[in-house]
Chain A
Amino acid sequence: MLSTLIRRELLDNLMTFRFIATVVIMLLLVVANTFVLINDYDRRLEGYNAAVNSNHERMQERTTYSSVSWDVVRSPNLLSIFNVGLDKRLSNEIFVHHGFVPTLWDGQVHGSTNPLLNLFSSIDIVFIFQVVLSLMALIFAYDALAGERERGTLRLVLTHPVSRAKILLAKYISAMMCLLVPLLMSFLLVVILLTTSPIVSLKVDDFLRIGGIVLSSIAYLSVFYLIGLLISVITRRTSTALMLAMFVWGFLVLVYPNVILVAITSAEPSQERLVPAFNQIEQIWEEFDRERKDYLANDPIPGEDPHLGVAGGSGFNEIWHKAQSTLLYTYFAVSYVNKLDDEFEPRVPHVQNYYRTIEPKTIDAAERAWLVRKQALESVFFRPAIVDRIFLRFSPVGMYDAATQAWAGTDLFGLRDFYEATRKYRRTLIDYLYDKNAFGDRKWFSSDKGAVDWNSLPQFSFQRSDVHVNAKRALPDLLLMLMMNLILFMVIFLVFQRSEV
């Protein structure tokens, strides 16, 4: 019985112009954009490799331990082809140093050739689905019930011993089968294009992630189909249903996601809330500076000069970085003396002692400042971003976007993993320095007795999160979509059950 209904629906749908037209347009869009996106990925990958190499070269030129710092580079995420999220936007190069805990706000952008290109919005595969799939689902659904009712075929069907639930189910299943054709074909095409591209190599995990994106797309599609079906069941006439469906589409896809954010942005994070945190951080560093100066004052060789008057083939550098807007407040002492005059030789142990005492204090101060900074920055920058995303979820578009970003690893959490990894790398760097007893070493500030050998320096590597972490992050939104499906289906069922034909 069900299969009879489904077969009829399928035949009816597959033969229509709307089906063929949408499939063709969708595939064209997907293929064209995949080429563009792969090219773009290629360019970004080149930029990444260039940045890694140039950083490596720069590192090799450094001769003293105190200049140990590493510009860590984030590689472009391959799955940003599906949903670019924050992957292209946030900083992709960050400075790692023992006296400074890196955060999202301290990064830079490497390899950008033309910042003006941001004038053009970028498209990813999920965006195409967001727009076209939802439209397609509504076009399929709006007349599913209203049309049959208007033509009278629904009456004829209902004179047969068929339950209404079965009719609904048949409509749902067959429409989903039809709608899945372009969806799966698109994904298949994208994957084929990806695997045949020489620059891309997909791993098993990536296939699983793509599978997650497919799953989310199906749930999204189904939500829109059911919205259309709901409209179809509550309206008497197809023309009304069509109008309503189109306006609902325009609202959910086009208007709501843009308007809601603008409307709630008036509650901008006020920079004033950063002031107390900045004062606190300032205190931490001033305290550090006081200790430092105390140490110098108590040293048998008097003076406030941390280099104790030592001079040589250039130079000593002390830098304070401050930026209130991102609570940046750091202290670097970098020395790269390559020629030390003999007259200063007796003072060298004092300098060694000084750095041996001060550098751990720098690390400590940096970490204490980081605790304050983290909290303040998260409350000012992260919380509004999270609130935004909650509001976006009132439209299925928001849920879909969030779920696919999570699968692709281009969401906020995926990006935070990178900054987390840089902080971990900083710890490794510090361990390395302690290990080499570097702070008290002559090579800390001077290379006159030989440069540091960097070969044993641990390298930075960033592994993106496991698939199950992606899944865990995507799950809430996926569940939300499934729940929405269920609720919609139940409402449609109840309304249809009670409606007169």
Chain B
Amino acid sequence: MLETRDLTKVYNENVLAVNKLNLKVEDGEIYVVLGANGAGKSTTISMFLNFIEPTSGTALVGDIEIPKFPLEAKKHLAYVSENVELYRNFTARQNLSFFAKLGGRKKVSNDELDETLGRVGLAEEAFTRRVKTFSKGMRQRLGIAIAIMKDAQAVLLDEPTSGLDPKGGADFLNLLRQLKEEGKAIFMSTHDIFRAKEIADRIGILVQGNLERELTREEIQRENLEELYLHYVAGYEPEEEANE
């Protein structure tokens, strides 16, 4: 379970990135946050991961307060970024094994690594290739493999599907559904309305740091999401976030 309580981040004392955000992601639920560039999506994820300290308020995973016990909290968090960057001189297997050990695993067998790599749809010949030869889609797959391997309670995804080809995107969503079946709490940011509609249990629309609207599964099906999104975003010129 992921939760934020009045989570606020102010950059440079005057740029309000996230304003009193309150949201909750239950286990086995996919929560998608929609927003323009600079709406505060990445800042929220960064605060979940304690990359940055919140100005006020707090974020929780389960009942662990992340800013207070970051190391403990990170045991229960997995992360896939928009552009998964890995150690380029290492093979897929080496990278996966390294991060698995970082996640707290003592011993990881090659079989297990291969199984996970296979599960995310990497071809067998790619297991022992260096990551610097990988395409973006392959790296995203490897990123989700790392998240799967970690077997964390909550998974945070920061625009993971941008730049993927249609097949890759679809495969990716399938993997997400599998994770959901396993009962993980999934928090994903995107500005891809159609993918959001396809997969989300709930959708939050973030505009300039404020959570303007939250939609349930039924509302997602009922309402015209595209119009709604434009409605909230219209009138606000997308701005570059100062410190992202």
B and A form one assembly: yes
Question: Nearest Cβ distance between residue A495 and chain B, in whole angstroms?
Answer: 15
Q: Mark B57-78, 1 if CB is under 8 A from A, else 0.
A: 0000000000000011111011
- Assembled-state Cα–Cα distance A151/B77 (Å): 21
Are B51 and A156 within 8 A (Cβ)? no
* Given known contacts A1-B102, A11-B90, A156-B146, A161 and B51 CB-to-CB distance under 8 angstroms: no
- Assembled-state Cα–Cα distance A155/B86 (Å): 10
Are B101 and A163 within 8 A (Cβ)? no
**Residues of A326-357 contacting chain B, CB below 8 A:** none
Q: Is B98 an interface residue (CB 8 A)?
A: yes
* Given known contacts A152-B81, A156-B79, A160-B150, A5 and B102 CB-to-CB distance under 8 angstroms: yes
Q: Mark A143-156, 1 if CB is under 8 A from B, else 0.
A: 00000000111011
**Residues of B100-152 contacting chain A, CB below 8 A:** 101-104, 143, 146, 150
Q: Is A318 an interface residue (CB 8 A)?
A: no
- Assembled-state Cα–Cα distance A500/B17 (Å): 15
Q: Is B85 an interface residue (CB 8 A)?
A: yes
**Residues of A101-145 contacting chain B, CB below 8 A:** none
User: Chain B: how many interface residues by the 8 Å CB criterion?
Assistant: 33
Q: Is A162 an interface residue (CB 8 A)?
A: yes
Are A4 and B101 within 8 A (Cβ)? yes
Question: Nearest Cβ distance between residue A155 and chain B, in whole angstroms?
Answer: 6
Q: Is A12 an interface residue (CB 8 A)?
A: yes
Q: Which residues of A contact B72 (CB under 8 A)?
A: 161
Are A153 and B87 within 8 A (Cβ)? yes
Are B98 and A158 within 8 A (Cβ)? no
Q: Which residues of A contact B75 (CB under 8 A)?
A: 161
Q: Mark A1-23, 1 if CB is under 8 A from B, else 0.
A: 10011001001100110000000
* Given known contacts A500-B51, A500-B52, A160 and B89 CB-to-CB distance under 8 angstroms: no
Are B85 and A161 within 8 A (Cβ)? no
Q: Is A456 an interface residue (CB 8 A)?
A: no
Q: Is B83 an interface residue (CB 8 A)?
A: yes
Q: Which residue of B lies closest to A162 (CB)?
A: B102
Are B51 and A160 within 8 A (Cβ)? no
- Assembled-state Cα–Cα distance A15/B91 (Å): 13
- Sample of 14 A–B contacts (CB below 8 Å): A4-B98, A8-B90, A11-B89, A12-B89, A12-B90, A152-B85, A153-B86, A153-B87, A156-B85, A159-B74, A161-B72, A161-B74, A161-B75, A162-B74
User: B residues engaging A (CB < 8 A)?
Assistant: 46, 49-52, 71-75, 77-79, 81, 83-90, 94, 98-99, 101-104, 143, 146, 150, 156
